[in-house]
Amino acid sequence: MAASKKQIAEWQARIDQAELIAALRWTEPVAPDVPPPPSGGHTEGWMLSAWLEGARAERGWSEFGAHGTGKYDRHRAYGCASKDARHLHSSKLRALRAGRHELATIYARKLMELDRAIAAAAAEEEAARAQQ
């Protein structure tokens, strides 16, 4: 017997809820494993790009004094480069895992600040009730 649209929607809502709960977990930090190149060379790998708006890993390159996204092209590198050499990740998977850890840390700090504000407000309310 086929499931109705309502049943499918309910199952999807349960799956979404389980995945949301599972997303609240700690992951290991992932350090970049491709060091900046020595003077005169370049390296290629993966870097996080605009990951606060949405996790995205892009191919990137680095050379002495500059880095950028996309495929390395020595002739146009300085026209579209950012300043300073940069450590890169050797794979897209490593870059995305690094991004996940960074986001988890950022949002854990925000939640900690909110929890502290909640505790302070609760203490203030308790003190106000005790004075009445």
Q: What is the pLDDT of residue 70?
A: 78
Q: How many CA atoms lie within 13 A of 128 on its CB side?
A: 6
| Confidence check: pLDDT of 51 > 70 | no
pLDDT in tens, 101-121: 988 888 899 999 999 999 999
Q: What is the pLDDT of residue 91?
A: 97
